[in-house]
Chains A and B, each alone.
Chain A
Amino acid sequence: MAEQTKAAKADSDGAGYWAANVRIILVSLVIWAVVSFGFGILLRPMLSGISVGGTDLGFWFAQQGSILVFLALIFFYAWRMNKLDREYGVEED
């Protein structure tokens, strides 16, 4: 009986870890898509009022900004997941 509860707990913890991971991934991918496909391409006309060095903000996002955001996203994810690993006790030895 006791063993069953323990197994069930481990199961739900594993599921909780995975669900938390998937949530972080989804949020990150929304940002990923908004800066590149959004600001860089589809929403560019909306941003055309904001001028940046001889052109507009959309052009800057397409050629510079999205790359910088991608970098921030990957480091954020690595930091957040390594923390999550410890919270759920699933980190490597």
Chain B
Amino acid sequence: MEQFTINLLFVGASFALYIGIAIWARAGSTSEFYAAGRGVHPVTNGMATAADWMSAASFISMAGLIAFTGYDNSSFLMGWTGGYVLLALLLAPYLRKFGKFTVSEFIGDRFYSPTARMVAVICLIVASTTYVIGQMTGVGVAFGRFLEISNTAGLLIGACVVFAYAVFGGMKGVTYTQVAQYVVLIMAYTIPAVFISLQLTGTPIPALGLFSETTSTGAEGSVYLLTKLDQIVTDLGFASYTEAHKDNLNMVLFTLSLMIGTAGLPHVIMRFFTVPKVSDARWSAGWALVFIALLYLTAPAVGAMARLNITELMWPNGTSGEPVSVQTIETAPEYDWMLTWQKTGLLDWEDKNGDGLIQYYNDGSEAMAERAAANGWEGNELTNFNRDILVLANPEIANLPGWVIGLVAAGGLAAALSTAAGLLLAISSAVSHDLLKGQLTPNMSEKAELMSARIAMAVAIAVATILGLNPPGFAAQTVALAFGLAAASIFPALMMGIFSKRINNVGAVSGMLSGLIFTLVYIFLHKGWLFIAGTNSFPDTVDGSLFGIQSTAIGAIGALINFAVAYGVSMMTKDTPQEIKDLVESVRIPAGAGGAVDH
């Protein structure tokens, strides 16, 4: 059977499964649409949270970014898991006790101010929309590959599928569908990794294989996988894999920004509203991280092993031998993946010096200049290797059976779809529940509320698709910007709302606004206004940036500004009223948590 048919079968079967579950558990009332009647077990909820959480950024993009950078991108691993500690310790149990449906409802009530609620809604919409842009980038890559069409066409088709899918059901449909999606995506991620780890190191657990010796024995006997990788990438003039090349300040701020952002993103926090009890909210965060860790512990192995495989395919005779020839790429079956990926426009090569060979090396490295001159090389000839294709191409690169490749295509789509659906739900509930029903038209009917929720979804996905055509970075980098925005705006307000009785309405509003505006302006100054390329005032590098801090790391500073402004302004203005102090007291104690109360 052809690979295209196999991919179609796997993707089709997994979609049929999700849609079947969505129909079976279709949301009827508004409360079911948002929070699934709070009947979800912590383990089930943990699994659904994991599916919701692990998006195109984690599944499709992250290992590729680690593969081509090595240690420096460990921030993604620590940041996107460490945030769960903040969520479990600082937010989840209290927000569950509070017992409302959305994050902005908490902010509106705690800071006794419709303005605070509006500002929170705006912050959520800005962060979630940025996040969806990153997802659409991933959706484009996945659809482009499995339909064997260009990235742009893949993105447009993907957008329609995501929209149809998100409109189908609310949270309840989504919760059980996401359990199915989790199972598909974790199998799709780990099965090829196990195969590759066995091939390269003989160890079936990729996380252990990463630190094992390779099975192929060289002249000096067996070597560790990471030692070998360091050796061959530095041979080609690339930065070593395991050493640090980024300054500590940027790495710490970037990690922190991802962590705080994790605890400030609405679609994840909303999950903790759906467990029956406060104690379940604590366990739920743990279970979510268990299911997330299965992928995150595997990802660095996937990255390192893929980098090794790719480099060895480009240099089949060793890094000092003759590189692969154009003819081999075009004819040998183990290079088929290069031809299929070339169709998406995300992978390309060019024989610049016309010697019939493809030299893959770092042409920016001074050490390589001499060797290049001596051999008549005219620059790196693997001209384009989009980081976002690495995970999807990985099983093909390692020459794994066709069904594994089909499974990975289904998994990548599951990851992108589940998160995009969760985010669209968060955006639509922010618009229809908080903005329209909560503020502008309080008397609207349930039917009108559901309709406006769906219109909001359509608008959000249209905006994300347009911006996703020219994304501000690889999927995971765009998503990292969304985390910075959530970190700077939402998390500080939630945390101060629980841990301080003194922070008042004026303080919270000025804190959120200054955090959001500072971070958004800083990102736009480096990435271009509204992410439109060329409109940036500073280059997006550490040295060229305004404060020597990369735009992806600025969220942590934004959060500090938010805390400081909120504290300062609160101290200078009137203390919070007694009923707010009582509200904070009651949120801190689990006893008396009932079902959700709507306004």
Q: Mark A34-74, 1 if CB is under 8 A from B, else 0.
A: 00110011101000000011111001101110111011011
- Asked if residues A36 and B78 are in contact (CB atoms below 8 Å), the reply is yes
Interface presence of B339 (CB below 8 A): no
Residues of the B chain whose Cβ atoms lie less than 8 Å from the Cβ of A92: 277-279, 590-593
Complex Cα gap A28–B81 (Å)? 15
Q: Kindly identify, within residues 264 to 316 of chain B, every residue whose CB is under 8 Å from any CB belonging to chain A.
A: 277-279, 282-283, 285-286, 289-290, 293, 296-297, 300
- Asked if residues A71 and B293 are in contact (CB atoms below 8 Å), the reply is yes
Interface presence of B160 (CB below 8 A): no
B201 (CB) vs chain A CBs: closest residue: A53
B279 (CB) vs chain A CBs: closest residue: A82
Distance (Å) between the CB of B284 and the closest chain A CB?
Answer: 9
Residues of the A chain whose Cβ atoms lie less than 8 Å from the Cβ of B293: 67-68, 70-71
Q: Mark B74-117, 1 if CB is under 8 A from A, else 0.
A: 10011001101100111001000000000000000000000000
Distance (Å) between the CB of A39 and the closest chain B CB?
Answer: 10
Interface presence of A8 (CB below 8 A): no
Distance (Å) between the CB of A51 and the closest chain B CB?
Answer: 9
Interface presence of B504 (CB below 8 A): no
Interface presence of B4 (CB below 8 A): no
Interface centre among B82, B85, B230, B588 (most CB of A within 10 A): B85
Distance (Å) between the CB of A35 and the closest chain B CB?
Answer: 9
Complex Cα gap A18–B589 (Å)? 8
- Asked if residues B88 and A78 are in contact (CB atoms below 8 Å), the reply is yes
- Asked if residues A59 and B223 are in contact (CB atoms below 8 Å), the reply is no
- Asked if residues B89 and A25 are in contact (CB atoms below 8 Å), the reply is yes
- Asked if residues A78 and B255 are in contact (CB atoms below 8 Å), the reply is no
Give the contacting residue for B255; candidates A18, A36, A71; CB below 8 A: A36
- Asked if residues A75 and B71 are in contact (CB atoms below 8 Å), the reply is no
Known: A53-B226, A70-B85. A81 touches B282 (CB 8 A): yes
- Asked if residues B77 and A67 are in contact (CB atoms below 8 Å), the reply is yes
Give the contacting residue for B224; candidates A53, A63, A93; CB below 8 A: A53
- Asked if residues A85 and B279 are in contact (CB atoms below 8 Å), the reply is yes
Give the contacting residue for A75; candidates B286, B297, B592; CB below 8 A: B286
B42 (CB) vs chain A CBs: closest residue: A78
Residues of the B chain whose Cβ atoms lie less than 8 Å from the Cβ of A77: 88-89, 282
Residues of the B chain whose Cβ atoms lie less than 8 Å from the Cβ of A90: 589-591
- Asked if residues A32 and B82 are in contact (CB atoms below 8 Å), the reply is yes
Distance (Å) between the CB of B316 and the closest chain A CB?
Answer: 23
- Asked if residues B211 and A28 are in contact (CB atoms below 8 Å), the reply is no
- Asked if residues A54 and B300 are in contact (CB atoms below 8 Å), the reply is no
**How many A residues touch B, CB cutoff 8 Å?**
43
Residues of the A chain whose Cβ atoms lie less than 8 Å from the Cβ of B213: 54
Query: Which secondary structure dominates where chain A touches chain B?
Result: helix
Residues of the A chain whose Cβ atoms lie less than 8 Å from the Cβ of B285: 74, 78
Q: Mark B238-263, 1 if CB is under 8 A from A, else 0.
A: 00001010001001100110010000
- Asked if residues B211 and A70 are in contact (CB atoms below 8 Å), the reply is no
Complex Cα gap A56–B226 (Å)? 10
- Asked if residues B82 and A42 are in contact (CB atoms below 8 Å), the reply is no
- Asked if residues A62 and B77 are in contact (CB atoms below 8 Å), the reply is yes
Interface presence of B212 (CB below 8 A): yes
Interface presence of A29 (CB below 8 A): yes
- Asked if residues A36 and B84 are in contact (CB atoms below 8 Å), the reply is no
Residues of the B chain whose Cβ atoms lie less than 8 Å from the Cβ of A55: 211, 224, 226-227, 242
Interface presence of B410 (CB below 8 A): no
Residues of the B chain whose Cβ atoms lie less than 8 Å from the Cβ of A56: 242
Residues of the A chain whose Cβ atoms lie less than 8 Å from the Cβ of B259: 36
Give the contacting residue for A32; candidates B85, B212, B230, B244; CB below 8 A: B85
Q: Mark B182-224, 1 if CB is under 8 A from A, else 0.
A: 0000000000000000000000000100111100000000011
- Asked if residues B85 and A60 are in contact (CB atoms below 8 Å), the reply is no
Residues of the B chain whose Cβ atoms lie less than 8 Å from the Cβ of A81: 93, 279, 282
Interface presence of B480 (CB below 8 A): no
Complex Cα gap A92–B589 (Å)? 9
Interface presence of B57 (CB below 8 A): no
Give the contacting residue for A53; candidates B77, B210, B297; CB below 8 A: B210
Complex Cα gap A18–B282 (Å)? 16
- Asked if residues B252 and A41 are in contact (CB atoms below 8 Å), the reply is yes
Give the contacting residue for B211; candidates A53, A62, A68; CB below 8 A: A53
Residues of the A chain whose Cβ atoms lie less than 8 Å from the Cβ of B210: 53, 63-64
- Asked if residues A78 and B289 are in contact (CB atoms below 8 Å), the reply is no
Complex Cα gap A78–B46 (Å)? 14
- Asked if residues B591 and A37 are in contact (CB atoms below 8 Å), the reply is no
- Asked if residues B78 and A85 are in contact (CB atoms below 8 Å), the reply is no
Interface centre among B81, B213, B223 (most CB of A within 10 A): B81
Question: Measuring CB to CB, which residues of chain B are less than 8 angstroms from any residue of chain A?
Answer: 71, 74, 77-78, 81-82, 84-85, 88-90, 93, 207, 210-213, 223-228, 230, 242, 244, 248, 251-252, 255-256, 259, 277-279, 282-283, 285-286, 289-290, 293, 296-297, 300, 499, 585, 588-593
Nearest 7 pairs of A and B residues by beta carbon: A53-B211, A54-B224, A54-B226, A62-B74, A78-B282, A63-B300, A74-B286
| Between-chain CB contacts (< 8 Å), 8 pairs | A40-B255, A54-B223, A62-B74, A71-B293, A74-B89, A74-B285, A89-B591, A91-B279
